[in-house]
Amino acid sequence: MEDIKLINCNCNFINGPLIEVLDEHSENYIIEFYERLGDEWGLIFTNHTFKPFTWFRHLRKFRTKWRIKVWGIENEKPVLLFQHTYDENNKKILLRFDSPVFQTHLTWLFKTNKFSESFNCKIIIESKFKDRLEKSYKTNCEFIEKINDLNQFCEENEIYASYKIGRSDIQSNTWNFWESNGIFENHTQHHDSWDHPSDWIKFRDEDLFENILAL
């Protein structure tokens, strides 16, 4: 099914998927978040009383093939008014490198080039080693130093999605679904935290990059 936009909605994937409904078509909307699971779409979140001029951001921050749906009410029946499927083609993607080691940033830059070519997207890299990276490796990526206001930067630069590439805390950043020491959102896939699908403790730097970006 192709994506549709029959009402005014905004969505992006900056620090997790976000949907904002800016339309008075219905007093209440139904919003649904799906993820791609093999050949199927699995529903992981729904809200049946979503108000107009309201936004919601899902907590998961690593890269996922998302689909977001918004249903309105017509003649007391739900009608699909908006659907957006995650697609990076020809979009701007922000990668925020978080490591104190220059060589790690350089390793991630090599991986970023392949990522950009594979998905035909323009990459902007936030790195404390901006100047050294620019001098060390020829790339089409754009480099920036520390971002003070992420939302403002992404809005001004039309960023479609952003991902932090680094080793975020796992143990305190989970809901411990079903006493599993992790997250079971759709009862099929286990994630260690909202920032990482897997425990990174034994990951090499390149493995960490691939794990966060689902490569």
pLDDT given for residue 187 in this prediction: 63
> How do the pLDDT tens digits run along the chain, 215 residues long?
799 999 999 999 999 999 999 999 999 999 999 999 888 999 999 999 999 999 999 999 999 999 999 999 999 899 999 999 999 999 999 999 999 999 999 999 999 999 999 999 999 999 999 999 999 888 889 999 999 999 999 999 999 999 999 998 876 555 555 455 677 776 667 788 889 988 898 899 999 999 999 99
pLDDT given for residue 95 in this prediction: 98
Distance CA 174, CA 209 (A): 20
Please report, for residues 118, 162, 190, 196, the alpha-carbon distance to residue 88 in angstroms, rounded to integers and kept in the order given: 10, 11, 25, 20
The CA radius of gyration of the chain, in Å to the nearest whole number, is 18
- pTM here is 0.91
List the domain boundaries for the chain.
4-85, 92-212
Q: What is the separation of C-alpha 13 from the centre of its chain, rounded to a whole number of angstroms?
A: 4
The CATH label, of 2.60.40, 3.30.70, 3.30.2310, 2.160.20, for the domain at 4-85 is: 2.60.40
DSSP characters for 36-96?
EETTEEEEEEEEEEEPSSEEEE-S--S---EEEEEEEEETTEEEEEEEEE---TT-EEEEE
- Of 89, 53, 87, nearest to 70 (Cα)? 53
Please report, for residues 15, 56, 108, the alpha-carbon distance to residue 170 in angstroms, rounded to integers and kept in the order given: 16, 23, 21
